[in-house]
Amino acid sequence: MLTDFALRNLKPRAILYKVADRDGMYAIVSPKGTITFRYDYRINGRRETLTIGRYGFGGISL
């Protein structure tokens, strides 16, 4: 489960990576350290992704 403590301790890597929460919700961590919330869902059998927003200063919180 994504918590504020876990999100603050995510470190950037050389490539983009994701940290899953549950039910399609996850956080993407960019090489620059930006954390973005996304949600995957299906509609009419097709996978869609909703980008919710950035985490942290100037963005959204949990």
Q: Give residue-wise pLDDT tens across range 2-55.
A: 999 999 999 999 999 999 999 999 999 999 999 999 999 999 999 999 999 999
- Residue 27's CB is within 10 A of a number of other CB atoms, namely 19
Q: Domain 4-54, what fold?
A: Double Stranded RNA Binding Domain (3.30.160)
Grade residue 62 by pLDDT with cuts at 50, 70 and 90.
confident
39 touches 50 (CB < 8 A): yes
Q: What is the domain partition of the chain in residue ranges?
A: 4-54
